[in-house]
Amino acid sequence: MTEPVRHRFATDITDLELADYQRAVRLVLRHPLITATWPDERALPRVRRFATTLRRDLSEAFGYRLELHGSTARLVRAKDRLDPTHPARSRTGRPFDRRRYAYLALCLAVLGRAGVQITLSELADSVAADAGRISGLGLDPDQGADRRAFVDAVGWLEERGALRLTDGSTSAWATDPGAGEALYDVARDVVVALFRPVRVLQHVDSAEALLDRSLASSGNAERRRSAQVARRTVVESPVVYLSDVDSAVANHLRGAALAADLTRLTGLRLERRAEGVLLVDTVGLSVERFPGTGSVAQVAVLLAVELAERALDPDGRRVRRLTAPDESARQRVLVDQVDAGLPAATFVRLDDEMPAPATAEPDGSAQVPGEIRLPLVTESFLRDAVAEILRRYGSAFGAQWHADPQRLGSEAVALLERFGAVIRVPGGVLVRPLVGRYRSTVAAVRQRAATETLF
């Protein structure tokens, strides 16, 4: 007889409940903050139903802490690296810049000491007073750029239920602060749940201090921590390359236990290749999906096909290979960029004052044994490929993209980079192994009643 499979997670969940439990796990991983209205009214009851098991499994599997207070559920995550691919976004999809993040933090500070209600003008006045004490920041509601950034921060809080509009109109105030007004109820449990730093920020002198640097006291503890790092790296990254992690974590990524654990927890299948692993997201674990819908995502897939064919050099042309940037060096650049905004002598840098990333120019020097060298595809090839895609599938793309192919190509490459398919370097991109999954992909224009789209 075959022995029954022994699971380490969801041990008290029946087979009939397992799919619902996995849905709750994916929900919490995708939305670390869940309220009565965010991301929807059904989310919080789903989490509360499995609260005890979720707390235990998320802690053991990932080193995360799930907190439930009032009408909120908050997943306090341990982070091993900085990730620039998931910024906060406004309601219109605009990524937050430093100014918007600063206003968001100041809004939380004001709401933390506010009463149960506050008007938008009162919130703006309080934030402006605090921002005025930070050189280089400030908030002038009469300035359109400041006002738009402030409204984006308020909208982010409103979406998540920290602020609930009871009277007036935010857009009316945004149009004319002197004439428009809005009144909000303040959800204090949401405000408290939103700000959950892992360390007292007054003691932090670098963003690196917010990353997980827990020390293991024994060999078993070190193995347990490495397994947690491996699991959370897989669920937080579109693809994990073995060359980007240390040897202990790579060993767990190669093992069968990791795949079984993550499938049991999330219901998703782990795909393993010689270069790394990825969790095949068929149900929307990630906020952004690839392949996906929309012109940029469709061009990105078609561009990946072209990159795969170019990198494999089917016509015998010599493709130059360059050393892949070291992941630790790339992390150092990100840490330095974030640290550039830390208060120093009362000065805070804003986006337009930030130094350019210190990216080293790759060269064609002799390969060092054990280093990773990736095919280089030039900017000119990318431009020509996007132009050919627009020519071949022209009816699938709107006139705005035909008028601005450079922007379309740039956004498609940025999407590929976010999903670990390429690395941008001066002069082009380095093609990573993930691109190979899309070689020989065939696309066609599918006719619809009103519109035409790819696939």
**DSSP string for residues in 139-180:** --TTSHHHHHHHHHHHHHHHHTTSEEEEEE-HHHHHH-TTT-
Rounded Cα gap, residues 47 and 71, in angstroms:
11
Task: State the Cα angle at 200 between 189 and 137, rounded to 5°.
Answer: 85
H or E segment and range at residue 20: helix 15-30
pTM: 0.84
Residue 437 has what pLDDT? 86
Radius of gyration, alpha carbons of the chain: 24
Residue 289 has what pLDDT? 80
Rounded Cα gap, residues 16 and 52, in angstroms:
18
Torsions phi, psi for 307 (to 5 deg): -65, -40
Residue 452 has what pLDDT? 43
Rounded Cα gap, residues 324 and 304, in angstroms:
18
130 close to 142: Cβ distance less than 8 angstroms: no
Q: Which two tokens stand for residue 306?
A: 């072209």
Strand partners, 241: 276
For residues 291-317, one letter each, b for 16 or more C-beta atoms within 10 angstroms of the residue's C-beta and e for the rest, the string is: beeebbbbbbbbbbbbbbbbbeeeeee
Residue 314 has what pLDDT? 55
Residue type, 182: A
29 close to 39: Cβ distance less than 8 angstroms: no
Q: Which two tokens stand for residue 172?
A: 């009316």
374 close to 322: Cβ distance less than 8 angstroms: yes
Residue 236 has what pLDDT? 92
Rounded Cα gap, residues 182 and 165, in angstroms:
7
pLDDT digits (tens, 9 = 90+) for 61-94: 999 999 998 899 999 998 888 888 888 999 998 9
Nearest CA among 298, 412, 406, 423 for reference residue 372: 423
- Those residues with Cβ within 8 angstroms of residue 240's Cβ, 6 or more apart along the chain or in another chain: 233, 234, 253, 276, 277, 278
Residue 370 has what pLDDT? 55
Give the pLDDT of the chain (455 residues) as one tens digit per residue: 444 556 789 999 999 999 999 999 999 999 999 999 999 999 999 999 999 999 999 999 999 999 998 899 999 998 888 888 888 999 998 999 999 999 999 999 999 999 999 999 999 999 999 999 988 899 999 999 999 999 999 999 999 999 999 999 999 999 999 889 999 999 999 999 998 777 777 777 888 888 877 766 677 888 999 999 999 999 999 899 999 999 999 999 999 999 999 999 999 999 999 999 999 988 878 878 888 888 999 999 999 999 998 887 655 567 888 888 888 888 888 888 888 877 664 444 455 444 444 444 444 444 444 567 899 999 999 999 999 999 998 888 888 999 999 999 999 999 999 999 999 999 999 999 999 888 877 766 665 444 444 44
Q: Which two tokens stand for residue 432?
A: 């990573």
393 close to 302: Cβ distance less than 8 angstroms: yes
DSSP code, position 96: P
Q: Which two tokens stand for residue 64?
A: 């995360």
Rounded Cα gap, residues 277 and 273, in angstroms:
6
Q: Residue 45's Cα: distance from chain center in Å? A: 25
Residue 316 has what pLDDT? 54
Q: Which two tokens stand for residue 142?
A: 């009469």
Sole residue written with tokens 């561009």:
303
Counts of helices then strands in the chain (DSSP H, E): 16, 15
Alpha-helical runs (H) found in 363-430: 379-392, 399-403, 405-418
Rounded Cα gap, residues 133 and 226, in angstroms:
43
